Amino acid sequence: SLALRSGIPIREIHRQLRGIASDRAIGLGPNKVLSVPDAIGIALENWMREKQGVQQDLLSTNAPSVSAPTPAVQPVMAQSDSGAQSQFQVDKLGGEAFMGTCPDCGSSLEMAEGCMKCHVCGFSECG
């Protein structure tokens, strides 16, 4: 949000956030979310796609500079929260929830017997 309030172009913020990975990725294929920053980048990408061709005056000369970016920030945060939650629910309903990547070998972790387990190297994380 600081970058948006500072006037940095949304495309540049999207470019910096998209693709940041962690060992807790969720989803498969094109719906894969690699990390929280990646989810924010995806939300920004979706927002830009929805607003493509729509001219908006985000930085009005009449409005104070502090409150001008507020309309742009609120939808992004709402999409990020609901997008990540709905993706996780879709995966759970499908029967195979992707829990992330194994920190030891990089393979997929799966939920089994209440633990996240790697069937390749045997890594297990119980909560």
Which backbone phi and psi does 87 adopt, to 5 degrees? -65, -40
Chain centroid, CA 122 distance in Å: 28
- Helix count and strand count (H, E) for the chain: 4, 3
Share in percent of the chain as helix, strand, coil (round to 5): 45, 10, 45
Paired tokens of 32:
């894969």
Amino acid letter for position 42: I
**Ordered per-residue pLDDT tens for the chain, 127 residues:** 888 889 999 889 989 998 888 888 888 887 889 999 999 999 988 888 888 766 655 555 555 555 444 433 333 333 333 343 333 333 444 444 445 778 788 777 787 787 888 888 888 887 5
What's the pLDDT score for residue 64? 52
